[in-house]
Amino acid sequence: MASVVLSEAEKVYIMHGVQEDLRVDGRGCEDYRCIEVETDVVSNTSGSARVKLGHTDILVGVKAEMGTPKLDRPNEGYLEFFVDCSANATPEFEGRGGEELGTEIANTLYRIFNNESSIDLKLLCINPRENCWVLYVDVLLLECGGNLFDAISVAVKAALFNTRIPKVRVLEEEGGREIELSDDPFDCIRLNVDNVPCIVTLSKIGYRHIVDATLQEEACSLASLLISVTSRGTLTCMKKVGRGSLDPESIFEMMETGKRVGKLLHSSLQTVLDEEEKLGSARKKVGFLG
Partner 1 sequence: MRGSRSKALHDQALVNCQYSMATFSTGDRKRRPHGDRQSSEMTLHLKQTFEAAILTQLYPRSQIDIYVQILQADGGNYCASVNAATLAVIDAGIPMRDYVCACSAGFIEETPLADLNYVEEVTGGPQLALALLPKSDQIALLEMNARLHEDHLERIIEAASKACKDVYAVLDQVVREHLQEVTALLGK
When binding is defined by CB under 8 A, the residue of 140, 155, 193, 223 that contacts partner 1 is: 140
Q: Indicate the residue among 13 and 82 with the shorter CB distance to partner 1.
A: 82
Q: How far is the CB of 274 from partner 1 (least distance, A)?
A: 24
When binding is defined by CB under 8 A, the residue of 59, 151, 154, 246 that contacts partner 1 is: 59
Give CA–CA dist 203/167, Å, rounded: 43
Strands 223-229 and 188-190: unpaired
When binding is defined by CB under 8 A, the residue of 23, 29, 57, 61 that contacts partner 1 is: 61
**Interaction between residue 185 and partner 1 (CB under 8 A):** no
Which residues are CB-contacts of 78 (< 8 A; sequence separation ≥ 6)?
Answer: 67, 69, 70, 121, 124, 132, 134, 135
Q: How far is the CB of 84 from partner 1 (least distance, A)?
A: 5
Interhelix angle 99-112/148-162, nearest 10 degrees: 60
Give CA–CA dist 263/221, Å, rounded: 24
When binding is defined by CB under 8 A, the residue of 45, 201, 221, 231 that contacts partner 1 is: 45
Strands 125-127 and 168-173: unpaired
Q: What is the CA radius of gyration of the chain?
A: 20
Q: Indicate the residue among 87 and 171 with the shorter CB distance to partner 1.
A: 87
Q: Indicate the residue among 45 and 216 with the shorter CB distance to partner 1.
A: 45
Which residues are CB-contacts of 10 (< 8 A; sequence separation ≥ 6)?
Answer: 216
Q: Indicate the residue among 60 and 196 with the shorter CB distance to partner 1.
A: 60
Alpha helices, DSSP H only, in the chain?
8-19, 99-112, 148-162, 215-220, 248-279
Q: How far is the CB of 42 from partner 1 (least distance, A)?
A: 5
When binding is defined by CB under 8 A, the residue of 4, 129, 288, 290 that contacts partner 1 is: 288
When binding is defined by CB under 8 A, the residue of 31, 73, 136, 168 that contacts partner 1 is: 136
When binding is defined by CB under 8 A, the residue of 7, 71, 95, 278 that contacts partner 1 is: 95
Q: CB burial class (10 A; 0-12, 13-18, 19+) of residue 211?
A: buried
Q: How far is the CB of 113 from partner 1 (least distance, A)?
A: 18
- Applying CB under 8 A, which part among 18-26, 43-51, 223-231, 253-261 lies near partner 1? 43-51
- Number of residues binding to partner 1, judged by CB under 8 A: 24
DSSP codes of every residue in 9-50: HHHHHHHHHHHTT--TTS--TTPPPPEEEEE---TTSSEEEE
**Interaction between residue 142 and partner 1 (CB under 8 A):** yes
Question: What φ, ψ does residue 170 adopt, rounded to 5°?
Answer: -100, 120
Of residues 62 through 91, those in contact with partner 1 by CB under 8 A are: 62-63, 65, 82, 84, 86-88, 91
**Interaction between residue 245 and partner 1 (CB under 8 A):** no
Torsion sign across C-alpha atoms 257, 258, 261, 264: negative
Q: How far is the CB of 91 from partner 1 (least distance, A)?
A: 6
Which residues are CB-contacts of 216 (< 8 A; sequence separation ≥ 6)?
Answer: 4, 6, 10, 14, 24, 146
For partner 1, the binding residues (CB under 8 A) are 42-45, 48, 59, 61-63, 65, 82, 84, 86-88, 91, 94-96, 136, 138, 140, 142, 288
